[in-house]
């Protein structure tokens, strides 16, 4: 019995020693050092997006500009920059969209006007700053900056003689926000809203008198996907 107890004690001691060996921390630089999925938002990213735009105010005699768009974006994020809160994310992003946002209307209206009116936005883009807060793999952010677009605007009033035609690149501003989620080691998806204001055009009659203002103010909704360059996981410490 004494021999059996001694053997059992020796076996238990050996098992505990082996268990301790199993859970010892690997040496520094060991290639299999474990990683935890804690995404770091710092770094460059590149992606694509698509969405829908609608007239923000519908102030053109029921001539709302609507349509789809699609394009890409490139940007850079800094997480915990300047030693501020480690979850604070600052960034800059540029995007460009090809678009089919337009409306045309011909005919007589209740006020006696006979209008021929065509509007359109063939492409647009923005250069924006971003500020957000990271909740692990999720990022909520606000964005705003400079916007531009290739706008076409033709207006003719056959009764009063007012006419206006303008085309070319217009500039303005953009404000919005969104959420982004890192679903894989270097991939994220996002949903975003942007309000875009590309200023306005003034229409005048044949005598040079002001008739009305034509604004380009759009609500845009988009979804996108980004690829993040570099290491977006930090080692377990």
Has residue 171 been placed in a domain? Answer: yes
Q: pLDDT tens for residues 95-139?
A: 999 998 877 666 555 455 566 667 778 899 999 999 999 998 999
Residues 138-159 have a mean pLDDT of 87
- Per the structure, the count of domains in the chain is 1
Q: Containing domain of residue 70, as a range?
A: 34-235
Length of the chain in residues, anyone?
A: 237
Has residue 144 been placed in a domain? Answer: yes
Q: So what's the pLDDT on residue 157?
A: 72
Has residue 63 been placed in a domain? Answer: yes
Q: Are 163 and 117 in contact (CB under 8 A)?
A: no
Specify the pairing of strand 233-235 against strand 163-182: unpaired
Has residue 20 been placed in a domain? Answer: no
Residue 66 sits in a domain whose CATH number is 2.40.160.20
Give the angle 100-199-150 at the CA atoms, nearest 5°: 35
Has residue 121 been placed in a domain? Answer: yes
Q: pLDDT tens for residues 197-232?
A: 987 766 665 666 666 666 788 999 999 999 999 755
Please count the CA atoms within 13 angstroms of the CA of 60 that sit on its side-chain side. Answer: 31
């Amino acid at each position: 019995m004494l021999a059996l107890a001694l053997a059992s004690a020796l076996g238990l001691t050996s098992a505990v020693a082996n268990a301790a060996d199993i859970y010892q921390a690997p040496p520094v630089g060991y290639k299999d050092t474990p990683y935890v999925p804690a995404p770091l938002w710092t770094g460059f990213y590149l992606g694509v997006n698509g969405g829908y735009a609608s007239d923000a105010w519908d102030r053109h005699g029921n001539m709302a500009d609507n349509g789809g768009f699609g394009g890409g974006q490139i940007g850079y994020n800094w997480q915990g920059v300047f030693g501020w809160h480690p979850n604070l994310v600052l960034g800059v992003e540029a995007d460009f969209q090809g678009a089919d946002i337009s409306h045309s209307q011909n005919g007589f209206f209740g006020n006696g006007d006979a209008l021929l009116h065509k509007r359109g936005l063939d492409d647009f883009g923005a250069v924006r700053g971003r500020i957000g807060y990271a909740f692990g793999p999720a990022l909520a952010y606000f964005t705003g900056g400079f916007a531009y677009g290739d706008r076409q605007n033709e207006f003719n009033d056959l009764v009063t003689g007012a006419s206006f035609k303008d085309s070319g690149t217009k500039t303005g501003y953009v404000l919005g926000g969104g959420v982004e989620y890192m679903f894989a080691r270097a991939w994220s998806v996002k949903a975003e809203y942007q309000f875009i204001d590309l200023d306005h055009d003034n229409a005048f009659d044949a005598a040079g008198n002001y008739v009305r203002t034509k604004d380009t103010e759009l609500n845009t909704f988009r979804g996108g996907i980004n690829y993040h360059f570099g290491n977006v996981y930090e080692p377990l410490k």
